[in-house]
Every structure is written in C-alpha cells, then in structure tokens.
Amino acid sequence: MGTDAIGRDILRFSDALPVGICVIGWDRRIILWNRTLADWSGKKSEETIGLLLDEIYPNLKRPSYQTRIDQVLNGGPPAVFSSQLHPSLFDCRHPDGTPRVQQTSIIRYPGGDPDTVSALIIIEDVTELDQEIRSARNMRDQALRLAGERKAAEESLEQLNAKLHLLSSVTRHDILNKVMVIDGFLGFAEEMATDPTLAEYLEHVRAAAMIIQNILLFNREYEKIGQSDPAWLSIEAQVQEIEPGDIPVSCDCPGISVHADPMLRKVFSNLYDNTLRHADGATHVRVACQRTGSGLVITWEDDGPGIPDDDKADVFNRGFGRNTGLGLFLIREILSITGIAISETGTPGEGVRFELLVPEGGFRYD
C-alpha cells in the first residue's frame, strides 16, 4: 500500500503541520511520515515508508500498545498516550538531544480507499506545557512548604512568647515583692536614723527602689501592647475613662472612633498624668478633633508652661524627663501599632499641644 491510499487532505497538509503525523495500514506498515516527524525522529520519510512501525520502535510490540491499536483499527475509540504517564511511542528529541514530552493520539482513518482502513497517529510536542506544569507544581509545593514552615515558626514563636511572658510575669512579681520589703525596712530605718548623712543615704535608696518599681510597672504595661487585635474605639469614651484629678478635661470629638490598640485609654491617661506632673498652674485640658487632608488630627492641649523647643524632639524617647521617662515613650509605641503618629507642637509658655495624626481609613464617624 502506498501514499496513493491516503486522502488528498492528509497529503497536502501533513508536511505543513507543526505536529508529527504518521499513518499506518491494517498491517502496521507506514504509509505516511510527515516532515515534522522526520525532523523530530531523525528518520527521513523515504526511509520509513513501507516499514513495520514496531520494527522501527520495538516498544510498540508491547501487548498494551498492540491491543489499543487493534481496537482503533477495528472501529474503537481513539487512543491517547502521554509520555508523562507512558514510555514515548516514538523516540523524538530536541536538537540538544533531550527527549520531547509527547501526547500521542491514534485515530481510525478510512483513507482514500473505502476498502482500506488506516490509523492516523498524531504526535504533539508538549514539552513547554510540561515544563510550565512542573514549574507551577514546584511553586505550589514551595508555597505549601513555606506556609508549613511559617506556621510551625509562628507556633514556636507563640510558645516562646508565652514562656517569656510567664517568666517575665513571675520575675516581675517576685522583684516587686522584694521592693515592698525594702520599702518597709526603709521606713523603719528612716524612723531610727538620727544622723543627717545616713538619712540622706536612705533617701537615695528609697528613690532607687521607686525607680525599680516604676520600671517594672512600665514593663508590665509594655507587654500588653499588641496582645489584643486593634478595635474601633470611641475617642470620647476613652477620654471619659481617665481617672479624674484636679484639672478638668473636656472632649469635643462627638461620634468619632479610631482604629487603635485597646490600650488607647492608656494613651489619654498618660497624657493626663503628664499634665498633672509638669503643667504647673494649668487649669484645664481640651481634647478636640479636626479632619485634615492627611487624616484626622486629635489634639490634647493644656494651659500650662508648655515644653521648651530644645526638648520637643526628645520628649518621646525612653528615659527622657524628670520622672521615669517612660510615659510618653509608651504612648508613641501604643499609637504606632495602627500607624497613628504623635508630635508636640505647642508654644512654650502657652501650654502643651500634642497632635495625634490618624491616617485615612483609621477613623470613622459613628
């Protein structure tokens, strides 16, 4: 049987197709071997026409392949083989010698002679698709691995944080108890001291003990930052939670909430404590809100002496100030969790003015 038995359409277009085309007759002899398949296999068409296909590729003698080809020739459904799952039916290679990943389809084809039954074999090169699939799988596997590693790391970090928190809590509790013991014995010693020099030394000891106590209390508060998820908090409600003192506080932020750490109440109580400690002669505190092009500005103003210009850049640094130097530092840390910035913009001699800038999306009107 020769190429005359093949339909004109196959003869005309097979060499132009970007896939390998082979046609075999009922006897498994090759009738057509197109140009693409010749390039891929290294076997010219004139060398293969008339040969038995399984003589060129002995692996096709396997019963599984023979059975499927017989089924196709006998009118069964098309057979599809992928070299990702099966050995390649045809040894087709790239110019660099690497095998082409193939998808091979075998279809019953009557040909030009109605009394002749042939099988049309189409070989597609799916190497690039296979590489993309493998790359996608590798990316997926890597992402899953990283996600698993991240989850394990987060769980380990949570356990470590819990242990550190417990250790810190127990240690702080024990030290505070010792400070209380020191405070008690200092009281007895001060009552018994008649030497002015000794009394002065005891005063220094008490001051040092108070500093230790304040640092421990600060650490307890600092540990709470970020432990709870940020929430929408009413500004007026937070200001109202300030423990009342000698200086009245007014708030003009009706119906405004900010997205902040639940310790926002500590921000306002620390600002109030700062006013009580440093604003000598202050008679009132005013909290107000104003929408600007950058977001929402919350102002805290008193009518005390204010802060000298030389100190404005340092007031939020840890350790700065006449007392513990921790209150304003803690305020800045709490606010920074949700991107709220704080600065001091008051005029010396006219009182402090702390400005809290809440970014867009971080506030709402209830």
Question: Residue 355's pLDDT is what?
Answer: 96
pLDDT tens figures, 247-260: 999 999 999 999 99
Over range 305-320, report the average pLDDT. Answer: 83
Q: How far is 360 from 297, CA to CA, in rounded Å?
A: 11
- Report residue 322's pLDDT band, with 50, 70 and 90 as the boundaries: low
pLDDT score of 267: 92
- The pLDDT score that the predictor gives to residue 291 is 94
Which of 108, 118, 114 lies closest to 32, judged by CA? 118
Q: How much is the pLDDT for 62?
A: 87
> What percentage of the chain reaches a pLDDT higher than 70?
86
Q: According to the CATH classification, is domain 3-125 in 3.40.50.11540?
A: no
The torsion defined by the Cα of 202, 204, 205 and 207, in degrees rounded to 10, comes to 130
Q: What is the pLDDT of residue 364?
A: 95
When pLDDT is cut at 50, 70 and 90, the band that residue 118 belongs to is: confident
Q: CB atoms < 10 A from the CB of 154, how many? A: 10
- Where are the chain's structural domains? 3-125, 147-224, 231-365
- Whether the per-residue pLDDT at 85 is higher than 80: the answer is no
For residue 172, pLDDT beyond 80: no
State the Cα–Cα distance between residues 80 and 234, nearest whole angstrom. Answer: 67
Select, from the ranges 103-117, 208-222, 224-238, the one with the highest average predicted confidence (pLDDT): 224-238
Give 231-365's CATH code, choosing from 3.30.565.10, 3.30.9.10, 2.130.10.10, 3.20.20.70.
3.30.565.10
Query: Over 80: is that where the pLDDT of 5 sits?
Result: no
Q: How far apart are CA 29 and CA 48, in angstroms?
A: 9
Q: Which of 32-36, 173-177, 213-217 has the highest mean pLDDT?
A: 32-36
- In this prediction, residue 225 carries a pLDDT of 66
Q: Percentage of the chain with pLDDT > 90? A: 25
Residue 163 pLDDT more than 80? no
* Six token digits for residue 294: 């950058």
What per-residue confidence (pLDDT) applies to 59? 85
Among 22-31, 106-115, 271-280, 346-355, whose mean pLDDT is lowest? 106-115
Contacts of 286 (CB under 8 A, 6+ apart): 249, 250, 251, 252, 299, 300, 301, 302
CA distance 207 to 72: 99
What is the arithmetic mean of pLDDT over 171-175?
70
The reported pLDDT for the residue numbered 301 is: 94
Q: Name the residue with higher pLDDT: 82 or 318.
A: 82
Model confidence at 167, pLDDT cuts 50, 70, 90, reads low
Q: What is the mean pLDDT of residues 341-358?
A: 93
pLDDT at 164: 67
- Identify which has the larger pLDDT, 34 or 114: 34
β-partners of residue 355 are: 299, 343
Residue 323 has pLDDT above 80, yes or no: no
> Which is nearest to 189 in space by CA: 160, 169, 209, 171?
209
The confidence score (pLDDT) of residue 218 equals 63
Q: What is the pLDDT of residues 285-300, one digit of tens each?
A: 999 999 999 999 999 9
pTM of the model: 0.50
Confidence of residue 1 (pLDDT cuts 50, 70, 90): very low
As a whole number of angstroms, the distance between CA 55 and CA 79 comes to 21
Look at residue 113 in the predicted model and tell me its pLDDT: 58
pLDDT at 222 over 80: no
The pair of structure tokens assigned to 133 is 């699939």
The 3-state secondary structure of the chain, one letter per residue: CCHHHCCHHHHHHHHHCCCEEEEECCCCEEEEECHHHHHHHCCCHHHHCCCEHHHHCHHHHCHHHHHHHHHHHCCCCCEEEECCCCCCCCCCECCCCCECCEEEEEEEECCCCCCCCEEEEEEEECHHHHHHHHHHHHHHHHHHHHHHHHHHHHHHHHHHHHHHHHHHHHHHHHHHHHHHHHHHHHHHHHHHCCCHHHHHHHHHHHHHHHHHHHHHHHHHHHHHCCCCCCEEEEHHHHHHCCCCCCCCEEEECCCEEEEECCCHHHHHHHHHHHHHHHCCCCCCEEEEEEEECCEEEEEEEECCCCCCHHHCCCCCCCCCCCCCCCHHHHHHHHHHCCCCEEEECCCCCCCCEEEEEEECCCEEEC
